[in-house]
């Protein structure tokens, strides 16, 4: 019976089994054992639960190190691990910095993996020990296809090259958040200049398909990621950028200089023809004029998924629609995070109804954060006009308030004042 099933069919079957069922499959016969082990051990995670205490964190570390030791003693199982996640997110019970640093240092320095495809490392605070070992871990896994980093700091050009994927020739998904110089004393411009000089010596240029940028230092974005001689972004299909990063609104002279430059938003202008998924963080804009000043009208003809986050004014939302999706006939999934006063609801309801009336079938999800609006309000109460459209499915509610479990299987959303994004393996 086993031999008549192609390997692809077996993988599809095992993909839908629970872990306990996979363990049972591994005991059926020798033929099922290798493929069951591939599924059982392909992903390894070290994630602090939000309610974890310091003692529980240490116990988790001990158990993890025991499991890691068992894997190291079994090369046949170690080679099955293709995904690793380390998430030291903030817990409700305060855990001392030295404990977090010890966990980070111990875990990162002990990882024996050489064949990872997915690496996801996030921490809330600065840990020098963990950061020192992370570049080596990335370099030791040249088969990486997706890399998600949060909170890492740059102290030299090799850190910069590694975190931006220049040591990962197979990389197709890159998510960066909180990437900045280690200290103010470190001259990032000098590091970037030295890095650019070295790039002329034949280092691999990443060919990304998915790019997510959160609170990344503006010099890194402008001088490396948006430099076509350094970053090959012509193949990008899904992109998330924090709109408004290009200027500081408190500096009128800089705003004027940026507004007069060409192009003003080069990432959109160069890859707009290929982008199918787009995220804008609009919380910095308090008027339509501010939005139009920083984000030029760029058409996205293949756009299917759009998220507009942190919308503080109804006029900003209108401007975003006019400049972004006017020529996007295939838009099928729209997510709005609305944060303005509830008095503007009726206007938005009517505007969205008129906008969506000429559209094809679409899923509209609205995360409302209106002062004075009850969380129990349903879609008929908030958007009665939109609900009259039979081809529009309206959902009310937000997404979970943290960066998530796996960069491959979720969609982008906002955390505080930063864009933190995750992309789906298959867009729904």
Mean pLDDT of 19-33: 66
Supply 5's token pair: 């099933």
Highest-scoring range by mean pLDDT, 72-76, 181-185, 194-198, 262-266: 72-76
**Residue 163: count of CB within 10 angstroms of its CB:** 23
- Dihedral sign (CA 129, 131, 134, 136): negative
All residues at 6 or more sequence positions from 280 whose CB lies less than 8 Å from its CB, including other chains: 241, 243, 295, 306, 307, 308, 309, 320, 324
Lowest mean pLDDT among 17-21, 108-112, 186-190: 17-21
Distance CA 175, CA 172 (A): 10
3 state DSSP class of 365: strand
The pLDDT value given to residue 376: 47
The pLDDT value given to residue 374: 53
The pLDDT value given to residue 200: 58
Pairing of strands 333-338, 305-311: parallel
Distance CA 428, CA 426 (A): 6
DSSP conformation class of 352? H
The pLDDT value given to residue 281: 76
Q: Domain boundaries in the chain?
A: 1-41, 42-118, 251-284+295-312+320-428
Are the C-beta atoms of residues 271 and 234 closer than 8 Å to each other? yes
**DSSP per-residue codes, 223-250:** IIIT-TTT-B-TT--EEEE-TTTT--TT
In terms of residues, how long is the chain? 428
Distance CA 233, CA 377 (A): 42
Q: What is the pLDDT of residues 322-359, one digit of tens each?
A: 888 878 888 888 888 888 777 788 888 899 999 888 88
Are the C-beta atoms of residues 336 and 282 closer than 8 Å to each other? no
Q: Between vectors from CA 399 to CA 395 and to CA 405, what angle results, nearest 5°?
A: 140
Using the structure block, give the residue that is written with the tokens 């006017």.
326
Beta strand residue intervals within 238-312, DSSP E: 238-241, 277-281, 305-311
User: Max CA-CA distance within the chain?
Assistant: 74
Distance CA 308, CA 310 (A): 7
Bridge partners, 153 (sequence order): 180
Q: What is the pTM of this model?
A: 0.70
Alpha-helical (H) ranges within 73-187 are: 75-78, 97-110, 128-139, 157-163
Summary count for the chain: helices (H), strands (E)? 16, 16
Residue bearing the bigger pLDDT, 226 or 120: 120
Residue 154 has pLDDT above 70, yes or no: yes
Are the C-beta atoms of residues 143 and 116 closer than 8 Å to each other? yes
The pLDDT value given to residue 140: 93
Are the C-beta atoms of residues 309 and 281 closer than 8 Å to each other? yes
The pLDDT value given to residue 287: 86
């Amino acid at each position: 019976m086993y031999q008549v099933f192609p390997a692809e069919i077996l993988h599809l079957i095992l993909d839908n089994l629970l872990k306990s069922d996979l363990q049972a499959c591994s005991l059926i016969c020798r033929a099922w054992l290798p493929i069951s082990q591939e599924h059982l051990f392909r992903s390894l995670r070290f994630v602090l639960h939000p309610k974890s205490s310091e003692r529980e964190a240490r116990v988790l570390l001990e158990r993890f190190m025991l499991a890691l030791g068992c894997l190291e003693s079994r090369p046949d199982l170690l080679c099955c691990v293709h995904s690793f996640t380390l998430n030291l997110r903030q817990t409700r019970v305060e855990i001392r910095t030295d404990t977090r640093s010890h966990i980070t240092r111990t875990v990162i320095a002990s990882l024996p993996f050489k064949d990872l495809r997915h690496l996801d490392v996030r921490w809330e605070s600065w840990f020098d020990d963990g950061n020192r070992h992370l570049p080596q871990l990335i370099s030791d896994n040249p088969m990486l296809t997706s890399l998600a980093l949060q909170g890492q700091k740059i102290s030299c050009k090799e850190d910069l090259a590694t975190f931006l994927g220049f040591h990962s020739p197979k990389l197709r998904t890159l998510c960066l958040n909180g990437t900045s110089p280690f200290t103010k004393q470190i001259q990032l411009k000098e590091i970037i200049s030295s890095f650019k000089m070295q790039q002329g010596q034949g280092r691999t240029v990443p060919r990304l398909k998915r790019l997510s940028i959160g609170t990344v230092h503006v010099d890194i974005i402008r001088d490396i990621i948006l430099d076509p001689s350094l970053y090959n972004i012509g193949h990008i299909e899904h992109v998330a950028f924090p709109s408004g990063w290009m200027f500081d609104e408190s500096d009128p002279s800089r705003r004027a200089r940026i507004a007069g430059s060409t192009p003003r938003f080069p990432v959109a202008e160069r890859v707009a023809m290929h982008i199918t998924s787009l995220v804008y963080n609009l919380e910095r804009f308090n008027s339509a004029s501010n939005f139009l000043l920083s984000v030029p009208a760029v058409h996205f003809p293949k756009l299917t998924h759009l998220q507009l986050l942190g919308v503080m004014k109804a006029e900003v939302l209108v401007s975003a629609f006019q400049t972004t999706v006017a020529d996007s006939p295939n838009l099928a999934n729209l997510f709005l995070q609305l944060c303005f006063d509830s008095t503007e609801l009726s206007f938005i309801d009517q505007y969205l109804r008129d906008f969506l009336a000429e559209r094809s079938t679409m899923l509209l999800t609205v995360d409302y954060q209106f002062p004075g609006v009850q969380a129990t309000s349903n879609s008929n109460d908030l958007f009665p006009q939109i609900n009259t459209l039979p081809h529009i499915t309206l959902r009310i509610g937000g997404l979970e308030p943290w960066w998530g479990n796996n960069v491959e299987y979720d969609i982008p959303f906002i955390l505080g004042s930063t864009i933190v994004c995750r992309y789906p393996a298959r867009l729904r």
